[in-house]
Structure 1
Amino acid sequence: MRILITGGSGFVGQALCQRLHEDGHRVLVTSRHPNKVQERLPEGTEVRRWASDFVDLPPEAIVNLAGESIASGRWSESRKKELLDSRLETTRDVVALCEQLHSIRGQAPRVLVSASAMGYYGDQGERDVNEDTPPHDEFAHRLCRDWEAAAMQAAQFGTRVAILRLGLVLEADGGMLAKMLPPFKLGLGGRIGDGRQYMPWVHRFDLIEMILTLVNRGDLEGPFNGSAPHPVTNAAFTRALAKQLGKPALLPMPATALKVGLGEMSALLLGGAKMLPKRFQEAGFAFRYSTLEEALEDIL
């Protein structure tokens, strides 16, 4: 199968491309810097600037992962616009490819799996959160809402659309865990604020299996929570990571300092959602790493 990955050179995208290559699929990737990312991707990967550049090499499936990191700086109004534009620009280009292929060939890609994030729900306190939980209206929710709405436009061309609301993706070579490991290995880690906020997480291996499940299962569409079945609080995550490393974790980050230093973006760290993968479980998805202890033991 020809599968197009936007964001294919990223933390999740590279691992996904490698898995697809090993499974015998033809991998297509979009990147703003095609020449720079080629060496990080499997041999034979076709890299182009935009999804719409692949009209002559039509993908049968698309996985849309592109978007600037939401946690890479204070949320000024201009930064908020950049975060939204980076997601909408790529997603609208993916939909444009679906429209072009439907018009030219009478057949759009069969499926679009498009990333979203746990931020869709906003801060949910301690309640259980599934795909039907009403969101709390804040910037992260509005960002994800508009991103998802853009992806859903592909459905009008006959493409099945599945939305994957990602939790914190765990592996040692990237993402949040890679940033946490240096201070924790030095015994300088600690909870954030009071530590009661939930941190839905997923091992990268299981996330890739989730993506492949959504690509291959023709009966799955709409939103899916991309997280393990046992979310933990920030305090519990901190204890588990410190225990795995054999280090203390006695230096909490005060909420007040985060609010002063990060402004509105501190809501990402001080709020959370007890996000549960209800629809994946109903579909019979089997997690290899269902508890945080299992995941950290494998990774570390």
Structure 2
Amino acid sequence: MTIIVTGSSGLLGSALVTALRADGVRVVRLVRRAPQGGDESFWNPAKGLVDPAALEGAEAVVHLAGAGIGDRRWTEQHKREVLRSRVEGTRTLANALAGLSARPAVLLSGSAIGYYGDTGDRAVDESDPPGEGFLPEVVRAWEAEAEPAAAAGVRTVRLRTGLVLSRRGGMLPRILPIFKLGLGAPLGSGRQYWSWITIDDWVHAVRHILGDRGIEGPVNLTSPEPVTNAAFTAALGRALRRPTMPLAVPGPVLRAAIGGFAQEGVLTGQRVVPRRLLDTGYTFRHIHLNEALPAVL
């Protein structure tokens, strides 16, 4: 079996590639530099370039490439890059797949729960409509670019990923030093929901989706039990055996520090339920945050 993976150097891609290779799967990584072996192939999504020979005959494609959303201040330039990198990459792959004579059976295309916007305390699943704001607009445009592959008969899945918990990357390593000093605190009201998933569950869920031919369309990759930011703060403090601050970090302070991402990425939240995964029999390894954080740490 051969599976094509983009974004293979990122947190999610590197974990998935390691797991697939451990299963005996041949993984071909699409890279934007000179290939360094037979398991790599060059592509340039900004120019719409990908080698059809690298895709022809593969069983599956997992597309995870895209500029980081929360790793820098939201300038207008960075927001354009976030949108451009997702649209161009997905468009390039979907059009290439549609033009193949021997198409992969499935395309798993990265997406995000930012699709739902701010849901307050209302639980949402894959049947709910998009929200409003920059992130929902990005996700709608991002997901739409995969349509040519679906129209050509490729089973297409949009991986709407939540907050991934890992020691190797993402948000957790950035906030651990603060919490270890006993300075962790709720953000804003603390009532906004954070829908999380451990990196272990994310990888296993993707493998479940690859193997279940009945799964297509959007799939939420989150734990069945999202928590509020205040509850997340308390749970991380307990996992580290460190106190947390009783006073929250005010919203205006966060907005001044990190700009627009504070409003849509930190101060608002999504209470997301992984209905499709549960309905197709996926068994979560980590459902409750209080046992997930110690396992991750």
TM over 0.5: yes
Give a deviation string over 1:233-285, Cα, whole Å, max 9, x none.
00000000000101111063211111223332212100011100011111111
Secondary structure of the corresponding residue to residue 49 of structure 1: strand
The aligned length equals 290
- The one-character-per-residue Cα deviations of 1:51-74 (angstroms, maximum 9, x if unpaired) are 722525522200111111111233
Conserved 8 A contact 1:3-1:25: yes
Equivalent residue runs for 1:3-14 within 5 Å: 3-14=3-14
Give the corresponding residue for 2:79: 80
1:174 and 1:281 map into 2 onto residues whose CA distance is: 26
Task: Provide the residue aligned with 2:207 in structure 1.
Answer: 212
DSSP 3-state at the match of 1:236: helix
Matched, 1:121 2:136: no
* Structure 2 partner of 1:49: 43
Q: Are the aligned partners of 1:255 and 1:270 in contact in 2 as well (CA < 8 Å)?
A: yes
The amino acid that maps onto 2:9 is: S
1:279 counterpart letter in structure 2 = R
Which residue is equivalent to 1:19? 19
| TM-score between the two structures when normalised by the length of structure 2 | 0.93
* Pairing of 1:245-264 with structure 2 (within 5 A): 245-250=240-245, 252-264=248-260
Question: Is 1:155 the counterpart of 2:154 in the alignment?
Answer: no
Q: Does 1:222 align with 2:217?
A: yes
Tell me the C-alpha RMSD between the 2 structures.
1.7
Residue type matched to 2:157 in 1? A
- Closer, same or farther: CA 94–183 of 1 in aligned 2, 3 Å: same
Whether the 8 Å contact between 2:6 and 2:29 is mirrored in structure 1 is yes
Q: 1:113-192 maps to which residues of 2 (within 5 A)?
A: 113-192=108-187
- Alpha-carbon distance in structure 1 between the residues aligned to 2:55 and 2:252: 52
| Aligned counterparts of 1:294 and 1:3: Cα–Cα separation in 2 | 32
Query: Is the Cα contact below 8 Å between 1:55 and 1:100 reproduced in 2?
Result: no
| SS of match in other structure, 1:219 | coil
Measure, in 2, the Cα distance between the counterparts of 1:277 and 1:100.
32
C-alpha deviation, 1:45, in angstroms: 3.2
Query: Per-residue CA shift, 1:72-122, capped at 9, x if unaligned?
Result: 233333222111111111111111320231xxxx22111001111110000
Q: 1:25 & 1:134 partners in 2: Cα distance? A: 36
Residues 120, 269 of structure 2: 8 Å contact kept: yes
Distance 1:193 1:183, change over 3 A: same
Structure number with higher helix proportion? 1
Structure 2 gaps of 5+ residues are none
CA distance in 1, matches of 2:187, 2:277: 30
Structure 1 moving runs of 4+ over 4 Å: none
Which whole-Å CA distance do the structure 2 matches of 1:88 and 1:60 have between them? 23
- Is 1:110 matched up with 2:108? no
Amino acid at match of 1:93: T
Higher deviation after alignment, 261-270 or 280-289:
261-270
Distance 1:153 1:112 in 2: 11
Distance 1:249 1:192, change over 3 A: same
For 1:203, the equivalent position in structure 2 comes to: 198
Q: Which consecutive unaligned segments of at least 5 residues does structure 1 have?
A: none
For 1:156, give the aligned amino acid. Answer: A
Mapped contact 1:189–1:252 kept (Cα < 8 A): no
1:294 aligns with 2:291: yes
Counterpart position of 1:69: 68
